[in-house]
Amino acid sequence: MHAAARAQRDAFLRKLASPPAVMGILNLTPDSFSDGGRFANVDAAGAHAAAMAAAGCDIIDVGGESTRPGAAAVSASAELARIEPVLARLADEVGVPISIDTYKAEVAARAAQLGAIVVNDVWGLQKDAAMADTVAAAETALVIVHNRAEKDASVDIVADMERFFDRSLMLAAKAGIPRQRVILDPGIGFAKTSAQNRAAFAHIAKLKERGLPILVGVSRKRFLGSDAPELETLPGTIAANVAAAALGASIFRVHDVAEHVAALKTFFTLRIS
């Protein structure tokens, strides 16, 4: 990792000690659930990234493959074709750190070469056997997201989450990824029933006991099913993120940056004072 990227990585990690940190979402996919196709060309992606940076986000999470339920998988080459020109442009034009949302080691390695300082792996090092070593070699920070192959209402999701994180953290340690570069994400909306999403959300406070920063990604998700359709709206998303902040989350992955910067700044100011 180049010295400038290392400094950017370390500054971002220090930021997590005094939250909030807002992560702006930049989907370069044609089929993401909320904004698929809107930023598929380089100019549109660059303009949106610049707007999020101007609105106050602390990092931009770039994704080249949709992770919505039922989305078609794409090859590493297709994912790279989507992200490479955008990452090259953002490195020159946007003054905030970049995260890469991928579970493929090949994509993570190339993104790090192009300046990404965080790998956001929705499979927590457990999908691609090369990912842990790749992250270690690239010296990026790492987001470990809890995930499952499919929903199963009979599963104790909290116990499953704890086992998953134990395994992911073991893989990270074995590869030599420093613990201080690791972030946990309970994976709200990833192969969970509405009841399991509630349980995972409530478990944020307990996850904090691992001594690692917690990221939540609930933006525009109806993760409680038909019981809470308002979560797909901006007020619903803000409310959910503020609730996550109250439980101990410090990083918030969102589509609507300006509104969350204002809301979360207010929450943390009031809570600290």
Q: For residue 248, give the 3-state DSSP assignment.
A: coil
CA–CA dist 49, 28 (Å, integer): 11
> Is 82 a known active-site residue?
no
Distances (CA, A) of 233 to 166, 218, 257: 34, 11, 14
- Element containing residue 66 per DSSP (H, E): none
Q: Is 206 a catalytic residue?
A: no
Please tell me the distance from the alpha carbon of residue 158 to that of residue 259, in angstroms, as a whole number.
31
Phi, psi of 54 (to 5 degrees): -65, -30
Tell me: cis bond preceding 186? Omega within 30 of 0 counts: no
**Catalytic residue selected from 181, 198, 221, 222:** 221
Q: How far apart are CA 107 and CA 240, in angstroms?
A: 31
Number of helical H runs and strand E runs in the chain: 10, 8
Q: Are 241 and 3 in contact (CB under 8 A)?
A: no
Q: Helix 234-247 vs helix 194-202: angle between axes, to the nearest 10 degrees?
A: 40
2: burial class by Cβ within 10 Å (0-12, 13-18, 19+)? exposed
* Residue in 9, 192, 198, 253 annotated catalytic: 253
**For 39-189, where are the alpha helices, taking DSSP H only?**
42-55, 76-93, 105-113, 131-138, 157-175
Active site residues: 221, 253
